[in-house]
Chain A
């Protein structure tokens, strides 16, 4: 997945589904639904991605790994992104806010940071840059409290993207490139590039192109 070979990711997810079904393992089936949803979203099959998100019923009692980010603990994290792509911006915002609540209930700092970051994309896509900035400030403060330096760097990158989208191109680019090394060096390379480039890709449709 991190190498960008999403077709291979989808093939592995389908294999995981087959194995889980053969051994009738509910935890495996739940994980396969999540993998299939992510894989379909990444290759561009958005209806299938949403379908797997809708049918995926995570079993919190089986999710005991609290050491790092586990998407199984915040199952709505991808919903906002898929809903926006499918053309439901209002429902996407609602899903991003529900994911915030879900992450807060987990009471573990990494999921809170990741959900804050992913949700920012949805607000950027709808043009709500005040909320993106508020989320960046919240992320920086929260991640600093837990010494999560790469997540702090992502927060600064988000603020740089806000500046770019407000027309302050040079200072924005300086921030985005300046903190990239710190974010990427801390194993958040893929996340940083995807989130910040997604935010930085302003709605060019508002610009004259002729």
Chain B
């Protein structure tokens, strides 16, 4: 984590780089695994904003997938599901690659979970 913090600090000090969205996403996933959900989400949202500003759709998909995993763990997947579905829907090719397969699998998992979950109004 220290190496990651240092690298992100250097990249920011130098005015940014194409690697920053992935570095922030990686830090976000590590923070999530360490149990710091708030910091994890902050890093993932920063990663997503940067990836969007870079027009880096592949990195957006990775980050929205990581964010969806985090929000599932928090029991609040609705917004993350919509963002992931929107990002996945922008792809026109590459559906057999690892990231797209993972995203599609997660979307199916989230859809199945929402069907099986009782609606709040009837709970």
Contacts and interface: CB of A to CB of B under 8 A. Distances in A.
Interface of A: 3-7, 41-47, 84-91, 125-128, 201, 203-210
Interface in B36-93: 37, 40, 50, 53-62, 65-66, 69-70, 72-74, 90-93
Contacts of B108: none
18 contacts: A6-B14, A43-B18, A46-B54, A84-B58, A85-B59, A86-B56, A89-B100, A91-B93, A126-B94, A127-B97, A203-B99, A204-B66, A205-B61, A208-B73, A209-B33, A209-B69, A210-B72, A210-B74
Given A126-B94, A203-B98, A6 B66 contact: no
A203 B74 CA distance: 21
A88 B93 contact: yes
Given A5-B14, A125-B58, A87 B91 contact: yes
| Main SS class of interface, B | helix
B73 A209 contact: yes
B55 A86 contact: yes
A113 to B, nearest CB: 23
Contacts, number: 120
A205 B65 CA distance: 6
B54 A45 contact: yes
B107 interface: no
Interface in B1-19: 10-11, 14-18
B91 A205 contact: no
A103 to B, nearest CB: 23
